[in-house]
Each structure stands twice: as C-alpha cells, then as structure tokens.
Amino acid sequence: MLLPRTPSVVVSWSIAILSLIGYASALQQDLAIDVSLSDEAPTLSQYTMYASIALFGEFPAMTAAANTPGTIVLPPDKNALLCNNITKAEESSLPADSIVLVPRGICTFQRKVYNAQKLGAKATLVYGYLASRYMVNETDANKDGYTYDDIIFPLNYHDYDCSKGEAYIPKSSLSFDPLPYNAPQNDPLLSGDSTANICRERSADHLATCPSQACLLTGEKNEAGDSMKACCAWDLYILMYGDTAGEEVHIPSAYITMQQGNKLLKELKTNSKVSATLYARWRPQYNISSTLIWAMGVAACALAAYLSAHDYHKHTAKLIRRQKQAADNANSNGSSSRQRERSEPPAMAPVQEELTIWHALAFVIMASTSLLVLFYFKIYAVVKLMYAMGCSKAAASILLDPLLRVVMKKMSWKNKLIWRTDTEDFGDITTRDIISHVLGYSIGLAWLIVAFTVRHPDRITFFWVTQDVFGICMCVLFLQVIKLNSLKVASALLIVAFFYDIFFVFLSPLIFSKSVMIDVATSGGPPTADPLWCEKYPNDSGCQGGDPLPMLLTMPRLFDYEGGSNLLGLGDIVLPGLLVSYAARFDAAKSLLGVMRGGNGNMSNNCPERKYCGNCSLCSGGYFGPLVVAYGIGLCMANVAVYLMRMGQPALLYLVPCCLGTFCFLAYRRGELADLWDSPKAIRAADTVLYGEDGTPSPSQHAPVFAEEGLNSSMVPSAVDDDDFVDEVENDA
C-alpha cells in the first residue's frame, strides 16, 4: 500500500463506517379506500382516501381490481360502539358485503372488529371520535356512583395541543350526562366547519393552525368558573394493535381520522348507498432503486480503480503514438525520427511510502476507534463538517477541474499561472484551480447548510444527488492516494476488515447492548420516542436520530409510497476497490512494458495454452475485468441477502470472499500468485520507467527496467510529462 504526502485529512472518515442502514419512523397509510356515492354527479361520485391498516386480521390484496366492493353501514343503535357481546340472534344480521363504520372508544380495536365479524361484515373501518378521549376513573370499587369529579380528561400534548389553538367554552353549553361526555350535544360545539363550532368562533385565530378543526376539553376552568378551556385536538392515524388474548379475526380492518369519519357519516346521510373498495396500496415487490444503487456502486468501484492506473494508461498511449509516428516517418523518409526533447522540467512524482501488514492492522484499529468515539461522544456534526470539506476538495480536483479544462479550451480561455509555490504539496496555482475549488467548496457549503437545517434532508433531490457525486469523487481520490503494491497486504487488510464488519454489525450488541454500527450509522440510533409522538413533535429530543451519516451513496426508492432510500457505504466501495485498483495497475503495468518491448500491449502470462478455448480460458486476459465482475456479484449477493432477511447486512461479508477469492484463484491458475503476493516486478518496473529510481527523473535520462529482455529503451517516454499542461504554460506565457 502506498500513501503519498497529499492533503487527505478526511479520507479516513470516508471508510470509518462500512455499512449503513436506513430507518423510517412515520406511520404509513398503507390501505386505500375507493369510495363510490350513489346519488352524486358522475364527476363527484368517486374519490379515494387512505387509512392505516390493523396489525390483526386479513390484509387486502393489492390494487382495487383484486378486491370486491362493499357497502358502508353503521353498527346497530343498541351497540353503536360494538363493545357489547353479539347475541346469537344478532349474528350474521348484516348483509354479506357490509363494511361497518364504527367510532373509536370504550373497548379494544380487536373487540370491535370481532363483533363486526360476528354480525356478518366483510370489513371494518374505525374512525377517530372526540368522546373516545374521555374516561371515568373507576378505580374505587366501593363507590356507589360516579360524578363529574371522576372524569379523566384528555392529556395535554398526547391528545391536544393548546399552542395550535384554544378557546373557553361556556359550561352552560356543555353536558357531561351521561358521564364522562355527552357526544351528541358537545361534538357540534367543538368540531366541524360551521358557525356552530364555538371553539373555532371563540378562538383568537379561528383555529387557523389547527389541522383537525376540532377541540378537546381540558378540564381547566377560567377564574370565574363559568367556562372551560378547550384546545386543538390531534387527529392523526394510529396503529391498531391486537389483543394478546383476543378473539380470532379474519376480516380486514383499518383506522381513519375524525375528519375522514365525519365525511363518510355525511355521505351516508345524503346518499342512499355509499360503496367502498378496500385494497393495499401498490408498491413494487422489488424496487428498481436497489438495482440502480448496485450499478452505481459497481461503476464507482470500477471507475476509481481504473483511474488509479491513469499514469500507466497515459504513457502507454503516448508510447504507442510515438511508435506509430516513428513507423510512419520511417516509411516516408527511410529513417526514424528523433524523439523530441523537452526543455521544461518534468512534474515531480508523488513521494510515497510503502505500507506493510502492520499498517493494515493499524487502519482497522483506527476505524474501530473512530466508530467507538462516535458511539460514545455523538460528534456527528463534526463528521458531517469534515466530510463536506473533504468531498468539496475531492469534487474540485476529480470533477470540476477536468470539466473546466474542457470548457476553457472550447472557449479559448487561458489558464493563467497565479502563484508558483515550488512545493509538491500544493503545486502551482492557476486560474482553473481557483475557480474549481471555489465552486467545489460553494457546493459543499450549500450541502452542509441543508444537512444542518433540514430534517430528513435525504428527501431533497439536491442533497442526495450532491452526496452521491461527492461520494464517487471521494472514492476516486481515495484510490488515487492509497494504492496497494502486494497481494499480501491486500489480503491482510481485507480479511481484517471482513471480521471488523461482521463484529460491529452482528456481534457488538452482545457487548454494547446495541449494534454499534447501526447506532453510529443512524446518527445515534433510531428515535426512542413513539412514532405517533414524533409525528406530532418531530423536534423533540426523543425524536432525533435516524438520519444516516453522509459517508455513503444513496438512491431514493422509486414508486414506493413508504419512501426511504437504498444505501451503500463508501467503505464497501473503497476497501474492495483497493484490490480492484491493484489489479488495474498490474494489468496496465504489464501492458506498458509489453508496448515498450514492441508488442501490442495485450496481457500475457505463464498459463498453458488451451487447444479449444484459449480466449475464454481463466488463464487468458487481465485481472481488472474479472475483479469488477466479482465485485458486482458480491454486491448483488449482499442486496439479495438484505431482501430475503429483511435486515441490514455487512457487505464485506460477501465482497471480500468474491473479490479476494477471484484474484487469488486467477493468479494461481496463471502461475503469477508468487509474483503478485509480494510486490510484482511489472509494477516496480513501470514505476521506475515513470518516476525513476528515486522518483525525480530527468527528461533526458530514462531509468533501467530491471534488464527486461526485448525492451527498446529508446522508446521510453519522458517521465511524467504532461503535454496538456506544458501547452497551457506555453500559451499563457
């Protein structure tokens, strides 16, 4: 492994987390209800509402065509809440296509649905009801009768919120007989969109900020004692849980809000028949975004690995071009042209130090330490800040600078030299450098502002697109900065990372009581508060967390009403990518040396020839292509495991065996395992050609290449000369 002295403070953070798992907390309206009215005009006779399906009973089939419609009916008057036992005479008294609309309150949800089932209903809709929030304190068994003082009023924040609207209602207008609440008399005064809603009329803002347009009595009186305070009632979807010892239910049921229930009650009064079809909302069984994130991950790994061998590819192409020019000149003039000598000093090769197995172990220790520091100290804002700054630099160098080069060339703009530093850490600073970095850091700052100010920023297109571009640029920069030069170090690094990933995903809960990886990946773990509470108060401390740290590629789930994203940690790209990069550089080095010998640059090895399948044999070709395929297969296996097991998976569990196993097997079959295991000759020779023995080559002196037979030294290109850069300097001068 090689580590140039290049500013890369943030690089280590990009691989501190190797697997990330998303989290969704909102209550979903997973049931659709198509309502049909018999007495309305055709354009108004149908509409759709959504509901929250119960966790007991049957789940309707997907799409309306797969379900038969039913008729919405009300429960019997003597059992309006469906809490009383159904007598034998009452069983199956409803038509077979009945869908019972019943208010919430008094008994459990499953009890209501079971009684509707006994009446013969095919489904049940439970709607929110103001009266269901009041109860009578019946803990005193010796008490002969209960009074107003025994009423348990709704709870602040849980049932209502006075900050969204409040009013004082005259007690003379209210009734609590029968206890605890007289719904027929009180509800019209506390709900609805008419002037009869006293709560709205007496509210300072007419309940403008109250979504439900309904109020609950708090039990609090004014100083005179003649009025009672009422506040805005919450009207949200809730999840209907079943009873542990309840009766078995076979029909579907769902919960709808007070507003939806009141709307259906009005439809029943104004129409002779109201029909409804209940069905599960459509969502793809396999989301295409899983394939897209897989393709993005494979492409990012292949691109970053291929670009890590850019120097080899560039000089191979330059050498082929010069050989062709020499051949053309020989044919036309009868003699070969003399190679052009440059007076400009060549660019300096990066200073590198070769890392050992101990450095690979130190890397995992560093990553583990970073993970535990984040787990205990929760400094997620620092990570986002460092990641944004590092990715801004990566985007400026990897993406924006090349784009600006093309634009400036098309527009005939000169890239003026602003400052010559004469140091290898920064290099010469040009106009293009300044523009690309200003753009990169501006985009990074905008991304950072969204990350810190918006809840669930991954729902914003700018945020996740920028994050993906930043992540790919970071992967490319990482594999350009850190390079493996032996299979031995690669094996040590990947095997240790393999166990590291498994430990922190699957085994860490046995020590830390929860998964360290998941806790850190979701910025402190999923919210600890109830999802319904978090829907009311998303800024509450118990509702924080759940947003993944940004060190990943993300792709929103397409065509899925539940939302969410598919995620791929950058560590799952760059760690196997180190091995793929090693393969790409080895192939490119062999191709370069082959061209220097006068060949065409095709791969050659010590494999025995196959009589009938030479080209399709595992012995032929290079390593880069097979390793990209192996990486794609391993990542596909990880996605399949997530789909089948419905839980996050350590991707390195699948990627390391696929990539490392493929590389070792191919190297063994080709007789190159020993050479690849410890600093292959081809890479050392190519590095010497490009950078010289000490990394400071001369334009007029080419380094020897370990006495390689057949090597035409006159065709070795000048070390690290860059035609584009030299031309720019000449034009700007």
Q: What is the pLDDT of residue 349?
A: 54
Of 404, 553, 534, 542, the residue nearest 468 (C-alpha) = 553
Count of other CB atoms within 10 angstroms of residue 175: 14
E-assigned strand segments in 324-395: none
Is residue 337 domain-resident?
no
Report the percent of the chain where pLDDT is more than 70.
82
> Can you tell me the mean pLDDT for 27-41?
84
Q: What is the pLDDT of residue 610?
A: 55
pLDDT band, residue 2 (cuts 50/70/90): very low
Q: What is the pLDDT of residue 705?
A: 40
Query: In 596-610, which positions are buried (b, 16+ CB within 10 angstroms) versus exposed (e)?
Result: beeeebeeebebeee
* Six token digits for residue 131: 């009266």
Q: What is the pLDDT of residue 656?
A: 96
> Is 185 found in the same domain as 94?
no
The mean-pLDDT minimum among 178-182, 273-277, 367-371, 647-651 falls in 647-651
List helix spans (H) across 95-165: 109-119
The dihedral formed by the CA atoms of 425, 429, 432 and 434, expressed in degrees to the nearest 10? 90
Residue 609 pLDDT exceeds 70: no
* Six token digits for residue 208: 């403008």
Of residues 525 and 665, the one with the higher pLDDT is 665
Cβ within 8 Å of residue 322, ≥6 positions away:
339, 715, 717
List helix spans (H) across 79-120: 109-119
The mean-pLDDT minimum among 11-15, 454-458, 571-575, 661-665 falls in 11-15
* Six token digits for residue 276: 């409804």
CATH of the domain at 60: 3.50.30.30
Cβ within 8 Å of residue 625, ≥6 positions away:
none
**CA-CA distance, 592 to 310, in Å (whole number)?**
12
> Is 44 found in the same domain as 123?
yes
3-state secondary structure of 401: helix
Instruction: Read off the pTM.
Output: 0.81
> Can you tell me the mean pLDDT for 21-45?
70
Q: What is the pLDDT of residue 338?
A: 46
pLDDT tens figures, 278-293 = 999 988 888 899 999 9
> Is 297 found in the same domain as 246?
no
Residue 524 pLDDT exceeds 50: yes
pLDDT tens figures, 487-520 = 999 999 999 999 999 998 888 888 988 888 888 8
Radius of gyration of the chain from Cα atoms?
35
Of residues 117 and 517, the one with the higher pLDDT is 117
Q: What is the pLDDT of residue 450?
A: 95
Of 561, 578, 556, the residue nearest 476 (C-alpha) = 578
Number of domains in the chain: 3
**CA-CA distance, 599 to 593, in Å (whole number)?**
9
> Is 158 found in the same domain as 265?
no
> Can you tell me the mean pLDDT for 237-266?
91
Is residue 453 domain-resident?
no
Residue 441 pLDDT exceeds 70: yes
Of residues 608 and 315, the one with the higher pLDDT is 315
What is the 8-class DSSP label of residue 137?
-
Residue 208 pLDDT exceeds 60: yes
- Calculate the alpha carbon distances from 638 to 246, 300, 471, 485, 650 in Å: 40, 17, 20, 28, 8
Q: What is the pLDDT of residue 600?
A: 60
The dihedral formed by the CA atoms of 557, 560, 563 and 564, expressed in degrees to the nearest 10? -40
> Is 155 found in the same domain as 88?
no
- Calculate the alpha carbon distances from 370 to 173, 253, 365, 392, 553 in Å: 64, 48, 9, 22, 20
**CA-CA distance, 518 to 505, in Å (whole number)?**
7
> Can you tell me the mean pLDDT for 254-270?
94
> Can you tell me the mean pLDDT for 417-443?
84
Q: What is the pLDDT of residue 603?
A: 58
Q: What is the pLDDT of residue 565?
A: 86
> Is 100 found in the same domain as 67?
yes
> Is 667 found in the same domain as 540?
yes
Residue 143 pLDDT exceeds 80: no
The dihedral formed by the CA atoms of 430, 431, 435 and 437, expressed in degrees to the nearest 10? 10
> Is 275 found in the same domain as 375?
no
Of 510, 348, 524, the residue nearest 423 (C-alpha) = 348
Is residue 427 domain-resident?
no
pLDDT tens figures, 706-725 = 434 444 444 444 333 444 44
> Is 228 found in the same domain as 212?
yes
Q: At what angle do helices 681-691 and 571-596 cross, to 10 degrees?
A: 80
Is residue 340 domain-resident?
no
Residue 50 pLDDT exceeds 90: yes
The mean-pLDDT minimum among 50-59, 285-294, 392-401, 415-424 falls in 415-424
With beta carbons less than 8 A apart as the criterion, state whether 658 and 640 touch: no
pLDDT band, residue 337 (cuts 50/70/90): very low
Length of the chain: 733
Cβ within 8 Å of residue 193, ≥6 positions away:
213
With beta carbons less than 8 A apart as the criterion, state whether 53 and 28 touch: no
> Is 88 found in the same domain as 45?
yes
Is residue 117 domain-resident?
yes
Q: How many CA atoms lie within 13 A of 463 on its CB side?
A: 21
> Is 363 found in the same domain as 505?
yes
E-assigned strand segments in 171-252: 215-221, 227-233
> Is 507 found in the same domain as 538?
yes
pLDDT tens figures, 651-704 = 999 999 999 999 999 999 999 999 999 889 999 999 888 887 655 443 433 333
Query: In 428-447, which positions are buried (b, 16+ CB within 10 angstroms) versus exposed (e)?
Result: eebbbbebbbebbbebbeeb
152 strand-pairing partners: 135
> Can you tell me the mean pLDDT for 410-420?
87
Is residue 611 domain-resident?
no
Q: What is the pLDDT of residue 10?
A: 36
The overall average pLDDT reported for the chain is 83
Of 635, 648, 388, the residue nearest 519 (C-alpha) = 648
Q: What is the pLDDT of residue 358?
A: 82
Q: What is the pLDDT of residue 611?
A: 52
Q: What is the pLDDT of residue 621?
A: 77
Q: What is the pLDDT of residue 346?
A: 44
pLDDT band, residue 424 (cuts 50/70/90): low
List helix spans (H) across 537-645: 571-596, 624-645
Count of other CB atoms within 10 angstroms of residue 259: 19
* Six token digits for residue 36: 């049909």
**CA-CA distance, 228 to 84, in Å (whole number)?**
32
Is residue 404 domain-resident?
no
Residue 109 CA, distance from chain mean position: 35
Q: Exposed, middle or buried, 60 (CB in 10 Å: 0-12/13-18/19+)? A: buried
pLDDT tens figures, 347-401 = 455 544 456 788 778 888 898 899 899 889 888 899 999 999 999 999 999 999 9
User: What's the domain range around 513?
Assistant: 288-317+351-380+485-597+620-690
Is residue 712 domain-resident?
no
Residue 731 pLDDT exceeds 90: no
Q: What is the pLDDT of residue 419?
A: 83
pLDDT band, residue 26 (cuts 50/70/90): low
Q: What is the pLDDT of residue 27?
A: 67
